[in-house]
C-alpha cells in the first residue's frame, strides 16, 4: 500500500515551487543545518517578509502550507524546519529555545533577510518570542498562537494536568495510532475526520 504522507510530500513540494518558494538547506555552523522554504528569488525590498515557525504537531509544511500558498505572491515567505524536524539537525548538545532562535536568525541572515514579521504556533511561538527578544533589529513584529512567551515549570505542570498527560514526551512522542490522533487533536482546532491509516502513515 502507498504511504499517504509520502505521496502527499511531492505534491506539496510542487505546489510550493509554483507559489515561488523552494527548499534550501542552510549550514548554520559545522554540524548544524536547517532546511528552509524560501523565496525563489533574492529578497525583494518591495515585499514584506514573513517567517513561519511550526510547533511539535507536524513540521513546517504540514503546519503552514495553506498560509504559504495564500501569501507567497504578496510576501517573501520563509518557513524553516526547526532543529530535529524535517531533516534539520545538529550535533550540538544545546536543546533550548535560545539555541533554536539563534539558528533561525543565522539561517535567515544566510538567506539575505534583514527584517521580518515572525508567525509562531505553540513551540514555534516561544522561538518567535525569543527571536524578537534577541534580534530586535530583525523582528519587526510577532504573531503568536497557542503559546506562552516562556514555558515555566508551573505552566508546564498545569498544562500537562489539564491535558491529562504525566510528561510532555507522552504527548509529543506518540507510539501508536491512538496516541498520534490524540496529539493532533490537542494541537488542532476542530480536527477533520481523518482515516486511521493516515495517522499510521
Q: What pLDDT sits at residue 131?
A: 98
C-alpha cell at 49: 517578509
Q: What pLDDT sits at residue 58?
A: 67
CB 48 within 8 A of CB 175: no
H/E stretch holding 23: strand 21-29
CB 82 within 8 A of CB 102: no
- Name the nearest CA neighbour of 171 among 84, 57, 80: 57
For the chain of 201 residues, list the mean pLDDT of each consecutive stretch of 10.
76 86 95 95 81 83 86 94 92 92 98 96 94 98 89 85 86 84 77 81 75
pTM of the predicted protein model = 0.84
C-alpha cell at 56: 511539535
Amino acid at each position: 500500500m502507498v504511504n499517504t504522507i509520502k505521496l502527499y510530500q511531492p505534491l506539496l513540494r510542487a505546489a510550493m515551487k509554483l507559489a515561488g518558494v523552494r527548499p534550501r538547506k542552510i549550514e548554520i555552523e559545522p554540524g548544524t543545518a536547517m532546511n528552509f522554504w524560501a523565496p525563489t528569488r533574492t529578497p525583494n525590498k518591495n515585499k514584506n517578509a514573513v517567517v513561519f515557525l511550526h510547533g511539535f504537531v507536524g513540521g513546517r509544511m504540514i503546519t503552514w502550507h495553506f498560509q504559504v500558498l495564500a501569501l507567497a505572491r504578496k510576501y517573501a515567505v520563509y518557513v524553516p524546519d526547526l532543529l530535529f524536524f524535517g531533516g534539520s539537525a545538529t550535533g550540538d548538545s544545546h536543546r533550548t529555545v535560545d539555541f533554536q532562535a539563534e539558528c533561525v536568525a543565522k539561517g535567515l541572515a544566510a538567506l539575505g533577510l534583514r527584517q521580518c514579521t515572525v508567525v509562531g504556533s505553540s513551540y514555534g511561538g516561544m522561538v518567535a518570542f525569543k527571536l524578537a527578544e534577541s534580534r530586535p533589529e530583525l523582528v519587526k513584529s510577532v504573531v503568536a498562537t497557542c503559546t506562552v512567551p516562556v514555558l515555566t515549570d508551573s505552566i508546564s505542570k498545569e498544562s500537562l494536568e489539564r491535558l491529562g498527560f504525566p510528561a510532555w514526551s507522552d504527548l509529543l512522542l506518540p507510539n501508536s495510532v491512538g496516541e498520534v490522533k490524540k496529539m493532533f487533536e490537542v494541537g488542532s482546532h476542530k480536527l477533520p475526520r481523518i482515516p486511521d491509516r493516515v495517522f499510521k502513515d
